[in-house]
Amino acid sequence: MTIQKIIEKRYQAIQTEWTRYLNNPYDPNRAHDLRVMIRTLRGLIKFLKRRIDPAIYTGMDAELSRSANLFGTLRELDVLIEEAGVYAYNHPDAQVNYRHLFKLLRDSREQEMQRTLSKQAQQELSTWLQQVGQQLNRLKFDDMTGWHQYVSSELTRRDKQLTKRYQNLDYTDYPMVHKVRKRSKTLRYSATYFSEFAPNKAKKTGKSAREIQDLTGTITDAHVNYVRLHQLAAQVTKDEDKKLLEKIADEQLKKIR
């Protein structure tokens, strides 16, 4: 499959997942998969940056970033609800009003879900994705040569950079952990979808990138959960809700330390 075809299929995958999300926005997997497809295409575009006109690259990168961020808070709430469910399962206590906590979380999710489904949000998403599609049509990857060499050298270059950052990573430096996670995703997506251009290198690089992504992802999710739980604790009026939210937040810290 050519580079052009790979990119086109990733763009089409976004359209498919968007429709699936609209059909069933209550399923947390739908928002997650749509966001992943958007970020996958963005990662592949980043990988091909050296062969894209700077102005076109900047536009696509910004539009894909906005598209993914539209579902960022919704995804964070879904992860938070899942983590709260794990905590409730591991700490069964009839005296704790878990049901009320999950109602608060579900109400927050419902509100955020409706925001993403609003006419304005959907129009913005449509505009951003249309602009990305128009920019992609201007790219003529199939007219370029030397893709095997490009993919191999770019995988090697990015792998070295990621490994160096990871080896020197301070896990308490959340912004840097987040950056390393994003770089690992870009590398993993590229190793996955461009594997036929450098199969041996892609297999090894993809495995390493996935391991780094999983570790940094655990820290990133825990940090986001901790912050959001404390934000919710500051908003609730009942002391029992506040204390429970803070307990679950403290549980997240164990994953960061």
Residue pair 104/241 in contact (Cβ under 8 Å)? The answer is yes
Report the alpha-carbon angle 134-136-138, nearest 5.
75
Count of beta carbons in the 10 Å neighbourhood of residue 123? 10
Distance CA 47, CA 58 (A): 13
pLDDT tens by residue, the chain, 257 residues: 899 999 999 999 999 999 999 999 999 999 999 999 999 999 999 999 999 999 999 999 999 999 999 999 999 999 889 988 998 999 888 788 889 889 989 999 999 999 999 999 999 999 999 999 999 988 888 888 899 999 999 999 999 999 999 998 888 888 898 899 999 999 999 999 999 999 988 999 999 999 999 989 888 888 888 888 888 888 878 888 788 888 888 888 777 76
Q: What pLDDT shows up at residue 222?
A: 85
Distances in Å between the Cα of 198 and the Cα atoms of 20, 158, 182 are 33, 14, 22
CA-nearest of 99, 104, 62, 116 to 80 is 104
Q: What pLDDT shows up at residue 248?
A: 84
Residue pair 229/247 in contact (Cβ under 8 Å)? The answer is no
Q: What confidence tens digit (pLDDT) does each residue in 151-185 have?
A: 999 999 999 999 999 998 888 888 898 899 999 99
Contacts of 240 (CB under 8 A, 6+ apart): 96, 97
Q: What pLDDT shows up at residue 220?
A: 87
Q: What pLDDT shows up at residue 119?
A: 97
Q: What confidence tens digit (pLDDT) does each residue in 215-250 have?
A: 898 888 888 888 888 888 888 788 887 888 888 888
The alpha-helical segments, DSSP class H, found in the chain are 3-23, 28-47, 54-69, 72-90, 98-117, 119-138, 147-167, 174-193, 199-235, 239-256
Distance CA 77, CA 67 (A): 18
